[in-house]
Structure 1
Amino acid sequence: MAKTHVSLMLEESAAEMARQAARARRVPVDEYVERLIRADEEVRGTFLAGAQKVLDSFGDLIDGIDGIGEDTRGRPSAPGPLGTVSPPPPPS
């Protein structure tokens, strides 16, 4: 696989942490960073696949829950007891 040069600006403490972690794994810092990026992408893919399974399995149930969405003024609201939304208090 072709390689390309990337320059990173890190706080000294973060750079030292990367050097130490790479040294502990007996790899160059650039390989350590590459592994982190690939692992992050793998975790992200796993999470998104899991989230899609939940939506596929329970999407209709989630869509049918009352009280999730917006209050009467168009603001996001949290459900009250039993999934209902309490009306906003009258203006003072």
Structure 2
Amino acid sequence: MMIAIVIPDIVTLSLLCSYLALIFVPAVIAGFYAPKVSANASFYSILIPAIILLSLYFVIGKNTFIISTLLSIIIIICYDRVFKKNKIA
């Protein structure tokens, strides 16, 4: 009921669901094919773009998926390089 109040148009709701599903694609592909992707990188590459998508969708509109998908790809690529812990011993 709450979703129907916030998003009354079925086309807008289906686009938002498609964009949310698109966020999972880089994490799944990286999990299957990349040898050095951590679980944290996959988790944050889903969480942060989903929050960005849900917060900016009503401001920017239908082009928000470009920002969130590119952010997901950037997080997958750069997370382990930035937050990698160097082992001393």
TM-score of the two chains, using structure 2 as the length reference: 0.31
Bigger share in strand: 1
Please state which structure has a larger fraction of its residues in helix: 2
Q: Which has the higher contact order (CA 8 A, sep 6+)?
A: 2
Is the radius of gyration larger for structure 1 or structure 2? 1
Normalised by the length of structure 1, the TM-score is 0.31
